[in-house]
Amino acid sequence: MFTDLARQSLAGLRLLLVMTVLLGVGYPTAVWAAGQAFGDRADGSPVRVDGQVVGSRLLGQQFEGDQWFLSRPSAGGYDTLATAPSNLGPLSPDLMAAIEDRKAEVAAREGVAESEVPADAVTASGSGVDPHISPAYAAIQAPRVAEANGLSLEEVERLVEQHTDGRSLGFLGEPGVNVLELNVAVRAAAG
């Protein structure tokens, strides 16, 4: 009887060790190796400037100052660990007041009428860390960014066009401008 129990215990222990190696080491290593086939995508699509990581192509971040294109608002303050919408509904007085305040602020900063301020300039994305803005929002920011960086408006508009991503699969979603990549290009153009 004792030998049967010992034999079963050893079989269970061997199975535990084999499964630990397979699922604790082998499977994660295989997933990591498969991810490396996609280049930087598996590492978060980092954007590097002079060898330093300045952000991710996939995550929005906050920029401050006239020399930068600004991202859309973030309900979570661009905290990638707390990505979430504000949970305020379209009839919420708090949300409507925030949108009106943002609209007035953007219009004053960019020197445009409030009616020209695009929706993404005043509303947060669902995740709160969307890295893109609309081409319309980039267009109203271009004159400010050009002046602050000593660049011509045409040069900044060309950079916006170069960093505008089309629709996914050619028909899904709307075109968007990756703010981080555009700001890196503006910085390089400004020297």
**Is there a single domain that holds both residue 117 and residue 29?**
no
9 and 97 both lie in a single domain: no
Q: Is there a single domain that holds both residue 32 and residue 49?
A: no
Distance CA 56, CA 185 (A): 15
Tell me what pLDDT residue 190 has: 92
Q: Is 73 within 8 Å of 123 (Cβ atoms)?
A: yes
- Supply the pLDDT for residue 59: 83
Nearest to 40 by CA among 64, 63, 57, 61: 57
87 and 117 in a common domain: yes
Residues 19 and 65 in one domain: no
The SS3 assignment for 40 reads helix
Instruction: Supply the range of the domain harboring residue 113.
Output: 45-190
For the chain, the domain total comes to 2
pLDDT at residue 42 in the model: 61
Helix axes 179-190, 135-149, angle to 10 degrees: 20
Q: What is the pLDDT along the chain (191 residues), one digit of tens a residue?
A: 668 888 888 889 999 999 999 999 989 988 888 877 776 656 667 888 888 888 888 888 889 999 999 999 987 777 767 666 777 888 889 989 999 999 999 999 999 999 999 999 999 887 778 899 999 999 999 999 999 999 999 999 999 999 999 888 888 889 999 999 999 999 999 98
65/15 same-domain check: no
Please report the pLDDT score of residue 56 as a whole number: 82
Q: Half-sphere exposure of 36 toward its Cβ, with a 13 Å CA cutoff?
A: 6
Q: Who contacts 58 (Cβ-Cβ below 8 Å, separation ≥6)? A: 44, 45, 131
- 20 and 64 belong to one structural domain: no
Specify whether 81 is located in the same domain as 166.
yes
DSSP 90: T
**85 in the same domain as 17:** no
Q: If you ran DSSP here, which 8-state letter would residue 25 be given? A: I
| Co-location of 10 and 71 in the same domain | no
Contact in structure between 164 and 135 (CB atoms under 8 Å): yes
**Are 31 and 80 in the same domain?**
no
122 and 181 belong to one structural domain: yes
SS3 20: helix
